[in-house]
Amino acid sequence: MANKNMKHKLNIPGAWFCTDPDDDNGEGCIACNVCYTGAPDFFKEDEDGNAYVVKQPLTPAEIELCQEQLEACPVASIGKDG
């Protein structure tokens, strides 16, 4: 489960987030590129390749797409708080 206390600083406000790569719980982004290649309208990479949320999903189809990325994340660094 993504640590909501270690959100990446570039996430836009909203329920969906990616964790900072320095998350001490071992759930920090490892720059695997799964989410930002699978849903590039919602996830982007910073200069180090770590993911952050650039757009919050609104429609059922958008939410489903982001949920797929959450489930595919190998280190559980994608979360939704709400």
What CATH number does the domain containing 38 carry?
A: 3.30.70.20
HSE of 54 in the Cβ direction (CA atoms, 13 Å)?
Answer: 12
Full pLDDT tens readout for the chain, 82 residues? 898 889 999 999 999 999 998 866 767 899 999 999 999 999 999 999 999 999 999 999 999 999 999 999 999 999 999 6
Domains in the chain, number: 1
Task: Give the end-to-end CA distance of the chain in Å, rounded to a whole number.
Answer: 13
CA distance 18 to 45: 10
Domain membership flag for residue 2 = no
Domain membership flag for residue 4 = no
How confident is the model at residue 53, as a pLDDT?
98
Longest dimension (CA), the chain: 33
31 residue type, one letter: A
pTM for the model:
0.92
CA distance 67 to 80: 9
Domain membership flag for residue 74 = yes
